[in-house]
Amino acid sequence: MKFAVMLEDVVKIPASSETPPRARINFLFHAADGSGRMFVNDMTGKIYVIKDRHVLPEPFLDMAIARQGRFTSRDLFEQGLNTFAFHPDFASRDRPGSGKFYTFSTEIPESGVADFPSPDPARGVAHHDVVAEWSVDSTDPDRIDPSSRREILRIAHPLHDHVGGQLGFNPNAKPGQSDYGLLYIGVGDGGNTVFRNKEVDAFHTAQNLSSPLGKILRINPLQDGLWQYSIPPGNPFVSDARTLGAIWAYGLRNPARFSWDTAGSGKMMIADIGQAKIEEIDVGAAGANYGWSLREGTSVVDHHHETRLSSLPLDDAMNDLTYPALQYGHQLGLAVTGGFVYRGKAIPPLDGKYIFGDIVSGRVFFTDVGQLTNGKPALFFELPLVYLGKRQSVLEIVHADRADLRFGLDELGEIYLLTKQDGAVRRLASSLETQSTILPIDHPLGSLSK
């Protein structure tokens, strides 16, 4: 392969800070309604509409106003308005989910009663993770009616980080199919306890099937009689009275991003941020146990020494753990962020490639989605980027030592790079032939202590 990808400026989000990061831009997606609009959030509370390459002056939703005094956002942590999702019936009149929109945000503990308690109540609760439903304004399709809010679920979170917060509907599911209209919710494990408890994952939540922390949940978010949501009968643990029926997969540390391929096999990819050594991409599978905190990637965790990992035991198969489809070590970056499988038209060489990257280093990678298989880590490559006529890294583009990189997707399948440092949205615009061959990442795990 001999090509590079040209980056193109699209918009800058209105600054919410006078100093970097200019805007805590965290997610960009579309409503699948044929309007061509894109929606992008600032974690400080606003979701903006991008129409015809311009940001509309009035936000789609201002969480800080709608939840005044309850909403919480902290720059140094993961609190705030994290992600959002449109119901697949959003643009369909007379369907149950018509005009429905969902948010994952954080609120102060005093703002409501948690459906799920903290795993460490003796030490208090840092915040609540809240999933809520909203309806679009009947007189203005570019605005949410703030009075329409309906709370779906609320989770007491013991620490400030590992919120997770990804929401998503399987775009491949069609009306009448079992997965249609079901909301997937990524939830972190409760926070990094090393600095507080001197122990890796002191709460052991990710392996606890009675807790929503460290999980991918799956629910039908529409109100069901007196119930705020319902549990799909096809969920893997729904018939086990000892487990939380909403759990779809578990053993995750911080599944901050997931997405589906909209062609091919329709695979779901989960980006799970690692502890001190390994970042991983997993293929979504109902009922899978991805191993945290028994494992970090394909290594055994020492709970009293976060940088000391050891090889898998000879009898490991009896543990029935699901290992990554791709992994890399911290010589490449410190926190993986998931993107999307490219199915657009602008860059033919990327068709069928899963695009992902690292939040901190800003490096952008790709791999063939067909090669992603749990337990068989795939080869992957770094994507060469050309911006303003020259090859540049994301760190060089944003003029910072931390990229704060995220990804977005429009209705045509084109992929966008989002950077908090400058609050910018840039598009992967076209490919350019080069003389240099793109080689796979050599020794992706680097040197791990054993």
Instruction: Name 106's bridge partners.
Output: 129
Specify the pLDDT at position 76. 58
167 inside domain:
yes
Residues 66-84 pLDDT 10s: 999 999 997 657 899 999 9
Question: Which residues of the chain have a pLDDT value below 50?
Answer: 450
State the chain's mean pLDDT as an integer.
Answer: 95
pLDDT tens-digit profile of 84-117? 999 999 999 989 999 999 999 999 999 999 999 9
pLDDT at 187: 98
Q: How far is CA 347 from the centre of its chain?
A: 24
Q: Are 285 and 249 in contact (CB under 8 A)?
A: yes
Answer yes or no: is 400 within a domain. yes
Look at residue 143 and give its three-state secondary structure.
strand
What's the confidence (pLDDT) of residue 436? 86
177-201 pLDDT, tens digit each: 999 999 999 999 999 999 888 999 9
pLDDT of the residue at 268: 98
- Identify the pLDDT of residue 74: 77
Domain membership flag for residue 283? yes
Q: How many domains does the chain have?
A: 1
Q: What is the CATH number of the domain that holds 26?
A: 2.120.10.30
Paired with 431 in beta bridges are 5
Nearest alpha carbon to residue 364 among 103, 6, 13, 96: 6
Of the candidates 269, 206, 212, 267, the one whose C-alpha atom is nearest the C-alpha of residue 235 is: 212
The alpha-helical segments, DSSP class H, found in 252-355 are none
The verdict on residue 130 lying in a domain is yes
Would you say residue 440 lies in a domain? no
Domain that holds residue 255: 3-433
Does 449 fall in a domain? no
In a domain, 446, yes or no: no
Residue 404 lies in a domain: yes
